[in-house]
Amino acid sequence: MPTAYPKGHEEHMLYISYYESIGMSREEAEASCYFTINAAPAESIYWMTDEDIKRFGILE
**Residue 42: its pLDDT value, please?**
84
Q: What is the dihedral of CA 38, 42, 43, 49, to 10 degrees?
A: 40
User: Is residue 33 in some structural domain?
Assistant: yes
Is 60 within the bounds of a domain?
no
pLDDT of residue 58: 84
Q: In the prediction, which pLDDT does 4 show?
A: 87
Q: Which residue numbers in the chain have pLDDT < 70?
A: 60
**Residue numbers of the domain that contains 36:** 2-55
Q: Residue 58 in contact with residue 48, Cβ under 8 Å?
A: yes
Domain total for the chain?
A: 1
Tally of CB atoms within 10 A around 34: 16
Look up the pTM and report it.
0.80
What is the Cα–Cα distance from 59 to 28, expressed in whole angstroms? 15
| Predicted pLDDT at 1 | 79
